[in-house]
Amino acid sequence: MTTSRDRKREPTIDIRPLQLRAGDRFTDTNGEWEVIRGPWSMAAGKTVYAYVQRPGETGAQREVFWAAHEKIAVRRRADAERQARPRAAPRPSHAGTGEDPGEGAAGDLDVLTAPRAERYA
pLDDT at position 77 is: 75
pLDDT at position 58 is: 82
Per-residue pLDDT tens digits of the chain, which is 121 residues long: 555 555 556 678 999 999 999 999 999 888 899 999 889 998 888 999 999 999 888 888 899 999 999 999 999 876 554 454 555 566 666 555 555 555 555 556 555 566 666 555 5
Is residue 5 within a helix (H) or strand (E), and if so which, with residue range? helix 4-9
Q: Are 71 and 89 in contact (CB under 8 A)?
A: no
Q: Write the CATH number of the domain with boundaries 4-82.
A: 2.30.30.30
Could you please report the per-residue DSSP string of 23-91?
Answer: T-EEEETTEEEEEEEEEEEETTTTEEEEEEE-TT--S-EEEEEEETT--EEEE--HHHHHPPPP-PPPP
Domain ranges of the chain: 4-82
Q: pTM, whole model, 2 decimals? A: 0.56
